[in-house]
Structure 1
Amino acid sequence: MEGIISFGNKRNYDDFKKQIPADVLPLFDSIREFCFKLGENVLEDVRMHRVVFCKSMTFRWFLDVEPEKDGVKIKIQRSRKDPIQVIQIKKEQQISEFTEFFKNAYENIH
């Protein structure tokens, strides 16, 4: 699949999603799908306990998404100079409340 990278850990999203609580998985999947729709240069780095979305091969990450028991914790980075913003989305919330934050981070990260 296009947009997926690995740093030697050989994990892919199919392996990773087995550790996401079943009732949180639809939320996690919708965040992931939204990130890929932001641009063709979005890359996914599947790590041990989270998935990081980067912009192009510069590996400037803009979203760090970690599943939790009742939702997801997201770290948003707009630039290296701005502080990282941390938000939590509960499984019953819609990501539409947060997509402008995601899009803004993607557009402004260099």
Structure 2
Amino acid sequence: MEGLVSGKKRTYDEFRSNMPSGVATLFDELRRYCLTLGKNVIEDIRMHRIVFAKSIKFRSFADIEPQRDSIIIKIKKDRKEPEKEIQIKLDDNLDEIKKLLLNAYTSIH
């Protein structure tokens, strides 16, 4: 099933190459953080964004999309709750965002 449309799944480096450098640096930090949340984190690199999920059940907890000078994160803790959309600027502190990501990851069963 991998790469059904293009014949090849995109790599993170290919995805990252289309971002402005400041956004790419911020995106790298968020990506590294999401991947350290647990051994069962799955990264799904899509055309314009990356979705992070917990386990093979693919219960997504973060949908991260780079913009020209910011990043939009959609955080989802539960299927019954609406997702929370946050726009992060290049000079924003990520401490609160990381807490929200951790909370979303740990709330998925």
TM-score normalised by structure 1 residue count: 0.90
Spell out the pairing of 1:6-85 with structure 2 (5 A cutoff): 7-8=2-3, 10-85=9-84
Cα deviations across residues 47-91 of structure 1 (Å, max 9, x unaligned)? 000000010111110000000111100000101000011001101
For the Cα contact (< 8 Å) 1:24–1:72, is it kept in 2?
yes
Contact 1:77 1:109 (C-alpha < 8 Å) held by counterparts: no
Instruction: Describe the SS at the equivalent of 1:15.
Output: helix
Instruction: State the number of aligned residues.
Output: 105
Counterparts of 2:36 and 2:103, CA distance in 1: 13
SS at match of 1:34: helix
> 1:97 maps to which residue?
96
In structure 1, distance between residues paired with 2:45 and 2:71? 15
For 2:17 and 2:90, locate their aligned partners in 1 and report how far apart those are by CA, in whole Å. 17
TM-score, normalization: structure 2?
Answer: 0.91
CA RMSD of aligned residues (A): 1.3
Q: 4+ runs of 1 displaced by more than 3 Å?
A: none
Listed as ranges, the gaps of 5+ residues in structure 1 are 1-5
Instruction: Name the SS of the counterpart of 2:103 in structure 1.
Output: helix
Structure label with greater radius of gyration? 2
Identity of aligned residues (%): 48
